[in-house]
Structure 1
Amino acid sequence: MNCPDCDNDRTRVLDTGSNASGDTVRRRRECCRCSFRFTTYERPEWDSLQVKKRNGDIEPYDKQKLRNGIIRAVEKRPITDEQVAELLETVEAELRARDERIISSSLIGDLVSENLRTLDQVAYIRFVSVYKSFSEPQEFLKELDAVLDAELDDFEDPNRSQ
């Protein structure tokens, strides 16, 4: 732990304690160089979401990374920052409701896709083309046909979606 005052990497622990629930450790530290005293808090990393990538790697969930992907999909579309923030909150709430520490990246992609599809169909196509790694025009066409078929079904039977 580096000293926040002089950035020395040698500090010593003066006192250690935990909070009432026992999920956080509080440590009083002192810098060996400048004698500056400060407090650090430690909590288990497993409290936060982890993402299992397609290649098997596990990394911490990064809201900003997900936001950037959504922003690219909705670029130049009539989607507000508030709608993007709401979509992110919806996806995160669904992830946390699963009560799992490690979430697959494909689940995150599916949740974003579902929410984008109702928000903006062009943004949805853009997102799934990257998320599903489309490499052939036929893949775009197949997904576009599915979106158009669903739209036609809703148009022909407006009571169906209610």
Structure 2
Amino acid sequence: MKCPYCGKDNTRVIDSRPADDGDSIRRRRECDECHKRFTTYEKVETIPMIVIKKDNNRETYDRAKIEGGVFRACHKRPISAAQIEAMIDDVEACIFNKEEREISSEEIGELVMGKLKDLDSVAYVRFASVYREFKDVNTFMDELKKILE
């Protein structure tokens, strides 16, 4: 780290601790040349995830959109908020573990449906009916047959 006072590269860390926000590290440093002390903050660089919508528009990833859809699908079902949060955490982990900067909304929807199918079949059908835009009873019945098999 370069000293802000003399510009030399020879600095060392004296103290290191989490910063107040909990998302960064505060480091107290001392320059080996001029012996002045200064503070630096180290933070993880995040790259925003971009979602490619069905109409090919792009927008930044928003967890709240997944939460809204899942909470509506699970409305009046015997599923706790903790179970829903854990399921969404799993979906999010799958999304970010791909290490790609863009993901399609279809891929996110399929991940959510896969997790919902394991959690609650009624919530799964509710979510699928909106996500897959069922046009008539036959498409709805086809999805129900998949679950029953």
Matching residue of 1:67: 67
CA distance in 2, matches of 1:79, 1:100: 31
In structure 1, how many angstroms separate the alpha carbons of the residues matched to 2:104 and 2:62? 13
- Give deviations 1:101-137, integer Å, cap 9, x for gaps: 1110000000000000000000000001101110110
1:91 aligns with 2:86: no
Q: Under a length normalisation based on structure 2, what TM-score does the superposition of the two structures give?
A: 0.69
1:1-20 pair list within 5 angstroms: none
> Are 1:101 and 2:131 counterparts?
no
In the alignment, structure 2 segments of 5+ residues that lack a partner are 1-43
Q: Distance in 1 between matches of 2:142 and 2:89?
A: 30
TM-score of the aligned structures, taking structure 1 as reference length:
0.63
Partner of 1:135: 135
Distance in 1 (CA, whole Å) between partners of 2:87 and 2:75 is 15
| Distance in 1, Cα, partners of 2:56 & 2:110 | 18
RMSD of aligned alpha carbons: 1.4
- DSSP 3-state at the match of 1:76: coil
Could you tell me how far apart the structure 2 residues matched to 1:52 and 1:105 are?
6
- Point out where structure 1 has 5 or more consecutive residues left out of the alignment: 1-42, 150-162
Flag as ranges the 4+ runs of structure 1 deviating above 4 A: none
SS at match of 1:69: helix
- Superposed, 1:34-45 pairs within 5 Å as none
- Structure 1 counterpart of 2:82: 82
